[in-house]
Chain A
Amino acid sequence: MESYDLIIIGGGPAGLAAAVAARDNGIESILILERDKDLGGILNQCIHNGFGLHTFKEELTGPEYAARFIAQVKERGIEYKLNTMVMDISSDKVVTAMNRQEGMIMLQAKAVILAMGCRERSRGALNIPGYRPAGIYSAGTAQRLVNMEGFMPGREVVILGSGDIGLIMARRMTLEGAKVKVVAELMPYSGGLKRNIVQCLDDFGIPLKLSHTVIDIEGKNRVEAVTIAEVGPDRKPIPGTEERYTCDTLLLSCGLIPENELSRSAGVEISPITSGPVVNDSLETNIQGVFACGNVLHVHDLVDYVSQEASAAGRNAADYILHGHGENAKQVEILPQGGVRYTVPKYVRPEEMEDSLTVRFRVGDVYKNCAIATYFDDQLISRRKRPVMAPGEMEQVVLQKAKLAEYPDMKHITIKIEEA
């Protein structure tokens, strides 16, 4: 069986940054497996600008951001296979993949980095009543059709969900001559960035209806109309608030789900909250030598954070391959409380961790004038005021190794939202 030190599943922003970091930390034998026909992942269809403000201090489009990392991978001569679908990862790190040239191949790895990304919540998962005609697309599918294949999915559009991809597509379809009639959002707040609401909806006079959802889809062959209604605090439609919109297209932008079928079959423990692997400070899963980063780990809103996280995964995988690591290192669990839904990572090893560790998380509701507090057991360690926090924006806390060392008997770390 052919073998590599490191196999990376996925050649999007996470896989690319992980590969570069692993090579720069001494790993020669690296293979990236990518199912699409190019490296770059979903960035290739994200033609709007705004990527890379943190990493490169300029606003790039998705393909430009991807091109910078692809160039780094190519400069380093890192090996990759395109049009290659990974079918299985075993718990002893044998990767089974398929492509048209080689058929089925089995590869042994010393370490594996999971970087498969996420996919969109589908109509089936949303339980929308009505017919099942053509013309219902996830926002990302429409994005790929318009931006990469050069097809317009429709002319008169209703969008359900105010996630960023939906907002971006409202503008994109408008610029290409479609009429976007309304964006309906189930929640009382938008899941998208303020900037996108202003520049993708307000700029073009597209109405955003909060606390609204689609309750009916008409049309046997093609979408002919959808009905939306206001929902109450229980998120159930309020009778009498129905509004019918004639349209030929319904786009769904209702959340992203990490794509972890491969992880699950390998025996990786998955968090029910993030739908991504449970990891420690080195982004290692419960299987030694299997790491995760990017949207397969938890859904990010900025690709810059994906690149940072993936670099850490690459460094840590390199360290594992070159030095192994302590079998029974002490682990401290991070407990999310009071509005903090989860943390990535979930466990910290005070003796093994890098000098500082970025812990990322999301809150479960909109919080104004609150503070993010960090406790080591019952001892308050840090408290940072935040004028506003929302589920759509990822938050973070940085833990210092030196500080953890002052608390050798610590049982757990708590991160919570408190009144300021």
Chain B
Amino acid sequence: MEIRELTCINCPLGCQLKVTMEGKEVVSVEGNTCRRGDTYARKEVTNPTRIVTSTVKVSGGKVPMINVKTQNDVPKDKIFECVRALKGVTIQAPVRIGDVVVANVAGTGVNIVAAGNVDAA
């Protein structure tokens, strides 16, 4: 039996959750005051994911940098790999929201896309 402690992020209450695990199986969730806490805890201990946002350089644009993000959430342990994949990436202006910057980042099957608009200079 392994016990994981988490803080629920669904509301400002921030319940301290205690998740009891048997291997990879969730045995019980305690400390939550609503169902959202239970759902959050089960996802967070079995398959935690995050949207990753960062910036890349733009050449020939009105501004030097552009906001990019993973189009969907990616496994939490891939965050650093996603950011590393952006090192040295430069894209050419003009750029529109949704343009693919890096396809299938870090083998996640998720694309990194532009999250801002940059006009050509």
Contact = CB atoms under 8 A, between A and B. Distances in A.
Interface of A: 37-38, 44, 47-49, 59-64, 67, 146-150, 175-176, 193-195, 197-199, 202-203, 387-390, 392-393
Interface of B: 6-9, 11-14, 33, 50-55, 57, 62-65, 67, 69, 76, 79-80, 83, 97, 115-117
B53 A194 contact: no
Contact of A175 (B7, B33, B51, B54): B54
A175 B83 contact: yes
Q: Shortest 6 CB-CB distances between A and B: which pairs?
A: A63-B116, A47-B67, A194-B14, A195-B9, A61-B115, A63-B67
11 contacts: A38-B63, A47-B53, A49-B51, A60-B115, A63-B67, A63-B117, A148-B64, A149-B65, A193-B12, A197-B7, A393-B12
A54 to B, nearest CB: 14
Contacts, number: 82
Contact of A147 (B13, B33, B65): B65
A35 to B, nearest CB: 16
A47 B54 contact: yes
A61 B65 contact: no
Contacts of A202: 7
Nearest to B58: A150
B67 A147 contact: yes
Contacts of B55: 47, 146-147, 150
A371 to B, nearest CB: 15
B74 to A, nearest CB: 12
Contact of B116 (A67, A146, A194, A197): A67
Contacts of A59: 51
B120 to A, nearest CB: 15
Nearest to A147: B55
A388 B117 contact: no
A194 B79 contact: no
Contact of A62 (B65, B67, B80, B117): B67
B117 A67 contact: yes
A47 B76 CA distance: 18
Contact of B8 (A194, A199, A203): A194
A387 B7 contact: no
Given A67-B116, A175-B79, A193-B12, 4 more contacts: A49-B51, A49-B115, A194-B7, A392-B12
